[in-house]
Structure 1
């Protein structure tokens, strides 16, 4: 029984005449050889058409610019890829090269993986994503209880918080608690929005400098975040972007007053 490589070479017309004649004789005399030849012949599929959608979606411009930066190598003097086997080998090599190039591009474009200003928000989002309306069920604490809880945060974060400063329009204050992230105190003030569910204002000490409010999405929630010279803030909840921005603007104005 000839090998698949020999049979494929026969199909592609790459065997010397004597070997091709031998294969023909075997196929005529042995049904197994004839059946294998028929099976391998079915692989003569329209490869170009099959890969056309992938080629159309490929980041051609980006890859071309990356390849242009690679020093040119001496042109190969070997034969061109005229057979199906040669085409498939070249295709496999180019797929691997494309994957490597794309991963290299992603690694460069993403920049450093560790960013404290985003990591703490990611941790908070993971935590808040576990909240349901039932988590914050119950009556709104009276103002004296709110003040006592906020005073505990003041002592750790060096802030002067009051129920009036952290009140959100149309949203119930539920509790203020002290957490810890990266050995630093983290304040979490939890609220329950009657329309969209749990919401939280979180504050942590930060020396990253003043930054204007910005938006991002995490865990299916919207986050408005900003910072001053000494603290970083984030408001996270399920409310639409426009409403989150309005609420954040309101509390930010009171905190900086």
Structure 2
């Protein structure tokens, strides 16, 4: 297949920024960026992930009501993970994806500054705050973000195995498969010192979709529905983990898909 004009995924663009591509592939992306305004803008956005936090967000800080934000941020206690000084357990930046890192940091900072939520990852607030953060970065996904072939079953199993190790689950490609929707990748992220699994899919009808999971000691909760960032979210918990399925599909379809996942993951 001729890939000369294929729009690169965010992972490819991040690899280009990090100098991890072959000379031929790097030249292809450089050419696309010069010819395609959308690719150029996305490349510029992802490049911010390689800057310091102050450099990356300087344009936003310049426009922000600085005194008000500083007052609000000063009132937010630092999370225990930050006090301990322990580094986050991320893998390589390419694996984590610069786009997700930038979106996650921005989502947490903005959410806490505006809403005043900063009490850490507790059973009291995890059922709303973590979903808000996930919705922030999933809203940045496009079909191009998840372009490419569906990974082979053994690749899916390996990715899910890395998730299982941190979350104490036993996930299989069969358990997390969604009817008529392509599995794309399983990533292990981190939020407030807790491992957060994201299993990304591409629905031919409605675009990006994701199943996200975190450890949780909240009481078991039956599936419920909410909307964030123009997407529908079905969320539930089983006493050890909290789950959310997020996507652009209609609420009834999302609920039906989530019901299937809940049964298979619990089996």
Do residues 246 (structure 1) and 256 (structure 2) align? yes
Partner Cα separation in structure 2 for residue 208 and residue 182 of structure 1: 16
Give the one of 149, 156, 165 matched to 2:175: 165
1:70 alignment partner in structure 2: none
| Mapping of residues 8-87 of structure 1, within 5 Å | none
SS at match of 1:138: coil
TM-score (norm 2): 0.54
2:194 alignment partner in structure 1: 184
> Structure 2: where are the runs of 5+ without partners?
1-116, 120-124
SS at match of 1:140: coil
1:210 alignment partner in structure 2: 220
Deviations 1:123-146 (A, max 9, x none): 000010000000000000000000
SS at match of 2:217: coil
Partner Cα separation in structure 1 for residue 156 and residue 209 of structure 2: 16
Indicate the RMSD between aligned Cα atoms, in angstroms. Answer: 1.5
Do residues 194 (structure 1) and 194 (structure 2) align? no
Structure number with the bigger relative contact order (C-alpha 8 A, sep ≥ 6) is 2
Which protein is bigger by CA-based radius of gyration?
Answer: 1
1:139 alignment partner in structure 2: 149
| Mapping of residues 63-142 of structure 1, within 5 Å | 115-142=125-152
Partner Cα separation in structure 2 for residue 151 and residue 243 of structure 1: 28
TM-score (norm 1): 0.56
> Structure 1: where are the runs of 5+ without partners?
1-111
1:108 alignment partner in structure 2: none
SS at match of 2:232: strand
1:105 alignment partner in structure 2: none
Aligned length: 147
> CA, structure 1 residues 113+176, in 2 after alignment: closer, same or farther (shift >3 Å)?
closer
In the TM superposition, residue 186 of structure 1 has moved relative to its aligned partner by 0.2
In the TM superposition, residue 113 of structure 1 has moved relative to its aligned partner by 9.3
